[in-house]
Amino acid sequence: MHILVTNDDGVMAPGLLALVKTMRELGEVSVIAPEQNWSASGHVKTMHRPLRVKEVVLMDGCTALASDGAPSDCVALALLGLVAKPIDLVVSGINPNSNIGHDVTYSGTVTAAMEAVITGNVPAIAISLDGPDNHQAALDFMPAAVIAKQIVQRVFEKGLPKGVFLNVNVPFLPLEQIKGFRVTRQGLRVYRDSLDKRLDPRGRPYYWIGGETPTAIPEEGTDYGAIAQGYVSITPLQLDLTAYQALAELRQWNW
Ligand code: MN
């Protein structure tokens, strides 16, 4: 089994290292990740500048590839031939914060998995830890890395339906306190963004989109509902965003 590991937090992020460690217990691992943090960068295809790739050494002494492209660029590079050996599965993470509800459209972690489906038709898993926002100490990624291993094993046994990839969110709990797995649908994030207008030293305005940390609605059956109750959330996603329930009505309009 040849697993490609990537992330959106940058090749030196501790979440990536934890994931690489447990993926190596399953097979051969190649790593390509962005040089820098691309969190909330969305789905990117870099077309108007060249992409550079360099070899770097991870904290465990192993080599990895680092690119100046986005997470989705990294996956495309690997699947289009930068990594010579065929890739069986792409795993993206471990992101230090959850990716639930509408987050999936912003998330570099999730869009890296999307790219695996688009470019390579390869099964893919995005994995995020629901780490607290104001956590000061280093996050323990090992519970989520162990869970990633269990999920990858199951995906290898069963295979994923064509075009489907998994968005996994893990509660921030010790492994023995995690209650189990729930297969969920996307829930609803509640964004609390606000626009902060400031003045630069020359008196010209500039803007930050800030505000409070988003919350979410812990509805039963959803991604956030599961992690709020201490379960690992596994949401199967697809790239077809068509609003099927609106087709019939819109077809009746006098176009
Ligand atoms: Mn991130």
Q: What is the DSSP letter of 146?
A: H
Q: Ligand 1 centre and the CA of 40: distance in Å? A: 7
For residue 168, what pLDDT is reported?
A: 98
3-class state of residue 147 by DSSP:
helix
Q: Residue 75 Cα, ligand 1 centroid: separation in angstroms? A: 15
Phi-psi region of 203 (alpha: psi -120 to 50; beta: other; left: phi over 0): left
Cα 109 to ligand 1 centre (Å): 6
Terminal CA-to-CA distance of the chain, rounded, Å?
51
* Model pLDDT for residues 170-185, shown as the tens digit of each residue: 999 999 999 999 999 9
- Residue 118 is given by DSSP the state I
Average pLDDT over residues 31-52: 96
Distance 219 CA to ligand 1 centre (A): 24
Could you report the per-residue pLDDT of 166-223, keeping only the tens digit for each?
Answer: 999 999 999 999 999 999 999 999 999 999 999 999 999 999 999 998 999 999 999 9
What are the structural domains, with CATH classification, of the chain?
2-188+217-251 (3.40.1210.10)
CA of 31 to the centre of ligand 1 (A): 16
Whether the Cβ atoms of residue 28 and residue 1 lie closer than 8 Å to each other: yes
CA angle 220, 165, 173 (to 5 degrees): 50
User: CA–CA separation, 121 vs 124, rounded Å?
Assistant: 9
Q: Strands, E, within the chain: which ranges?
A: 2-6, 28-34, 53-57, 63-67, 89-95, 124-129, 165-170, 180-183, 189-199, 205-216, 231-237
Interval between CA 201 and ligand 1 midpoint (Å)? 31
For residue 99, the CA-to-ligand 1 centroid distance in Å is 9
Look at residue 133 and tell me whether its pLDDT is greater than 90.
no
**The pLDDT value given to residue 135:** 83
Q: What is the pTM of this model?
A: 0.96
Which DSSP symbol is given to 138? Answer: P
Q: Which residue has the tokens 């995005």?
A: 126
